[in-house]
Structure 1
Amino acid sequence: MTSTPRASLADITPPIALGALDGRYRPAVSDLVDHLSEPALNRTRAHVEIEWLIHLTDRQVVPNVRALTDDEKAKLRAVITEFGARDIDEMATTERVTQHDVKAVEYYLKERLHRIAPAPEDRGLAELIHFCCTSEDINNLSYALMVQGAIEQVWLPRATTLVEALATMASDLRDVPLLAHTHGQPATPTTMGKELAVLAFRLQRQLRRIEDAEYLGKLNGATGTYGAHLAAVPGADWQDISESFVTGLGLTWNPLTTQIESHDWQAELYADVARFNRVLHNLCTDVWTYISMGYFAQVRGQGTVGSSTMPHKVNPIRFENAEANLEVSNALLDVLASTLVQSRLQRDLTDSSMQRNIGVALGHGLLAIDNVTRGLAGLDAVPEAMAADLDANWEVLGEPIQTAMRALGAQGVPGMENPYERLKDLTRGRRIGQPELVEFVHGLGLPAEVEERLAAMTPATYVGLAPELVDHLD
Structure 2
Amino acid sequence: MQPRALTFCLTPNLHRELVRSQSNYSRNLTKRRVLKRVEGSSIRIRFVMPFDNQPKLDAAGERSTYLSPLSTRYASSAMRETFSDEYRFRLWRKLWYVLADCERSLGLQITPEQVEGLRLAAEEHFPLPLEAAAAYEAKLRHDVMAHVHALGDQVPIARPIIHLGATSCYVTDNSELLQQKRGLELLQRTLWMCIKELARFAARYRDLPTLAYTHFQPAQPTTVGKRACLWIQDLLIDGQQLERVQKELKFRGVKGTTGTQASFLALFDGDHRRVRQLDRLVTERMGFAESFPITGQTYPRKQDFLVLAGLAGIGQSAAKMANDIRLLQHMKEVEEPYEANQIGSSAMAYKRNPMRSERINGLARFLQTLVLNPAETASTQWLERTLDDSANRRLAISEAFLTADAILQLVLNISRGLVVHPRVIESHLLQELPFMATENILMAAVRAGQDRQTMHEAIREHSVAAAARVKDEGLDNDLLERLKADERFACIRDRIDALCDSSEFVGRAPQQVDEFLDEHVYPALEARHELVPDTPAENSILDSAGVIRV
Q: Tell me what 2:501 maps to.
A: 458
**What are the superposed Cα offsets for residues 130-176 of structure 1, whole Å, 9 maximum, x if unpaired?**
22222112221111001111221x32222222232222211111121
**What are the superposed Cα offsets for residues 319-346 of structure 1, whole Å, 9 maximum, x if unpaired?**
1112111212222233234424541111
Equivalent residues of 2:302, 2:374 under 8 A apart: no
Rounded Cα–Cα distance in structure 2 between residues aligned with 1:403 and 1:223: 78
2:119 aligned residue (64, 77, 86): 77
1:381 aligned residue (420, 429, 452): 420
1:136 aligned residue (162, 166, 169): 169
Q: Tell me what 2:436 maps to.
A: 397
Give the alignment's TM-score, normalised by structure 1: 0.81
Higher mean Cα deviation, 260-269 or 194-203?
A: 260-269
Equivalent residues of 1:296, 1:382 under 8 A apart: yes
Q: Tell me what 1:248 maps to.
A: 285
Give the alignment's TM-score, normalised by structure 2: 0.71
**What are the superposed Cα offsets for residues 388-445 of structure 1, whole Å, 9 maximum, x if unpaired?**
111111255369749989xx9xxxxxx989x9999989868964733567899x98x9
Matched residue SS, 1:274? helix
Instruction: Decide whether aligned partners of structure 1 residues 66 and 31 sit closer, same or farther in structure 2, where only a CA change above 3 A counts.
Output: closer
Rounded Cα–Cα distance in structure 1 between residues aligned with 2:412 and 2:483: 42
Residue pairs, 1:295-374, within 5 angstroms: 295-297=333-335, 300-340=338-378, 342-357=380-395, 358-374=397-413
Q: Tell me what 1:88 maps to.
A: 130
Rounded Cα–Cα distance in structure 2 between residues aligned with 1:422 and 1:196: 39
Matched residue SS, 1:217? coil
Instruction: Decide whether aligned partners of structure 1 residues 377 and 135 sit closer, same or farther in structure 2, where only a CA change above 3 A counts.
Output: same
**What are the superposed Cα offsets for residues 237-259 of structure 1, whole Å, 9 maximum, x if unpaired?**
22232133223312231011111
Higher mean Cα deviation, 77-86 or 314-323?
A: 77-86
Higher mean Cα deviation, 372-381 or 423-432?
A: 423-432
Q: Tell me what 2:63 maps to.
A: 15
Displacement of 1:73: 4.6
Equivalent residues of 2:199, 2:232 under 8 A apart: yes
Residue pairs, 1:186-265, within 5 angstroms: 186-213=218-245, 214-218=248-252, 219-232=254-267, 233-237=269-273, 238-251=275-288, 252-265=290-303
The aligned amino acid for 1:246 is T
Displacement of 1:192: 0.7
The aligned amino acid for 2:142 is H
2:95 aligned residue (48, 72, 96): 48
Rounded Cα–Cα distance in structure 1 between residues aligned with 2:420 and 2:311: 29
Structure 1: runs of 5 or more not aligned: 1-9, 116-124, 409-414
Rounded Cα–Cα distance in structure 2 between residues aligned with 1:402 and 1:239: 78
Matched residue SS, 1:306? coil
**What are the superposed Cα offsets for residues 104-132 of structure 1, whole Å, 9 maximum, x if unpaired?**
222233334435xxxxxxxxx64432222
CA RMSD of aligned residues (A): 3.7
Equivalent residues of 1:387, 1:460 under 8 A apart: no
Displacement of 1:59: 2.0
Instruction: Decide whether aligned partners of structure 1 residues 367 and 423 sit closer, same or farther in structure 2, where only a CA change above 3 A counts.
Output: farther
Rounded Cα–Cα distance in structure 1 between residues aligned with 2:341 and 2:167: 56
Displacement of 1:85: 6.2
Matched residue SS, 1:43? helix
Higher mean Cα deviation, 462-471 or 158-167?
A: 158-167
Rounded Cα–Cα distance in structure 1 between residues aligned with 2:151 and 2:68: 34
Instruction: Decide whether aligned partners of structure 1 residues 66 and 100 sit closer, same or farther in structure 2, where only a CA change above 3 A counts.
Output: closer
Q: Tell me what 1:57 maps to.
A: 104
**Percent identical:** 21
- Aligned length in residues: 440
